[in-house]
Amino acid sequence: MELALTGGKGYSGKDSKHRLRRGGSAEAVIELKMTHTQTINLAQAAVQQFGAIVFWSFPGFTVTSLDEARLAAAMLRKYGGRKGWQKAQEIQDAIDGVSKTGP
């Protein structure tokens, strides 16, 4: 996982590492990028966490590719309730990050 702190113009208009909002509080903007393998591992962990409740139609389902991670996210959205929906969004964000940067 890669962490990047993005810079910007602070409240005073000068370049700074932290963006400042009115009132002087500092807000760090952190961008998380997951690798291909980490994304697959995240999806596989969700499959194990939600188990047969969500993946009842795929006994023994394992995630080995980004396409299967997309399928896992779709199943989580459909059958996983609120927590499944949130986990699916996390997986989809990771997939989108990998797709933009490549494997």
Q: How do residues 58-69 score in pLDDT, each as one tens digit? A: 888 999 999 999
Please tell me whether residues 58 and 93 are part of one structural domain: yes
Separation of alpha carbons 61 and 92, rounded Å:
18
pTM to 2 decimal places: 0.65
Please tell me whether residues 76 and 94 are part of one structural domain: yes
Q: How do residues 73-97 score in pLDDT, each as one tens digit? A: 999 999 999 999 999 999 999 999 8
Check residues 12 and 90 and name the one with the higher pLDDT: 90
> Does residue 76 contact residue 50 with C-beta atoms inside 8 Å?
yes
Please tell me whether residues 92 and 52 are part of one structural domain: yes
Please tell me whether residues 63 and 93 are part of one structural domain: yes
Work out the angle at residue 39's Cα, subtended by the Cα atoms of residues 86 and 84, and round it to the nearest 5 degrees: 20
Largest Cα–Cα distance in the chain? 58
Range of the domain at 39: 35-101
Q: Give the confidence band of 101 by pLDDT, cuts at 50, 70, 90.
A: low
Please tell me whether residues 77 and 49 are part of one structural domain: yes
